[in-house]
């Protein structure tokens, strides 16, 4: 199942370390079939607040997403970002083709009551 790496970049100190990170990240993604879907987009916030911007990467599955993050190539550039930004990063699986919201409803109805 497709997995997405989602970053909420709350703050980024743009400078030489971030420039180097951006120059090098694409090469770290290629071996794991990762690619950018959204990069630095300013959201059109409809509810609540969302300071910063959004980054979404796509991977064929969770295993490759985790392998990319743990790879020596990515770990070598990770401090360039973490030392110069504040972010929330997560991996989340997509849904299968044909998914409908009612699929979740069926799942929730089978959960034990609290």
Res. 77 pLDDT band, cuts 50 70 90: very high
Does residue 103 carry a pLDDT above 90?
no
Tokens standing for residue 30 = 């290629």
CA atoms within 13 A on the CB side of 70: 7
Please tell me the predicted confidence (pLDDT) of residue 112: 66
What does DSSP assign to residue 32?
G
Does residue 59 carry a pLDDT above 70?
yes
Nearest to 85, CA basis, from 5, 15, 25, 27: 15
- Average pLDDT on 9-20 reads 96
Fold (CATH) for 3-109: Alpha-Beta Plaits (3.30.70)
Res. 42 pLDDT band, cuts 50 70 90: confident
Does residue 114 carry a pLDDT above 70?
no
**Could you give the CA distance from residue 21 to residue 109 in angstroms, rounded to a whole number?**
45
Average pLDDT of the chain is 93
Measured CA angle at 73 (ends 69, 79), to 5 deg: 70
- Average pLDDT on 56-60 reads 98
């Amino acid at each position: 199942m497709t997995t997405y790496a989602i970053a909420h970049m709350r703050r980024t100190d743009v400078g030489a370390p971030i420039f180097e990170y951006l120059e090098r990240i694409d090469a770290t993604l290629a071996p794991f079939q990762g690619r950018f879907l959204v990069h630095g987009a300013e959201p059109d916030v409809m509810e609540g607040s969302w300071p910063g911007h959004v980054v979404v990467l796509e991977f064929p599955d969770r295993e490759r997403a985790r392998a990319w993050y743990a790879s020596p190539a990515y770990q070598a550039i990770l401090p360039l970002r973490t030392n110069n930004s504040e972010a929330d990063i997560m991996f989340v699986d997509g849904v299968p083709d044909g998914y409908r919201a009612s699929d979740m409803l069926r799942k929730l109805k089978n959960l034990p009551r609290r």
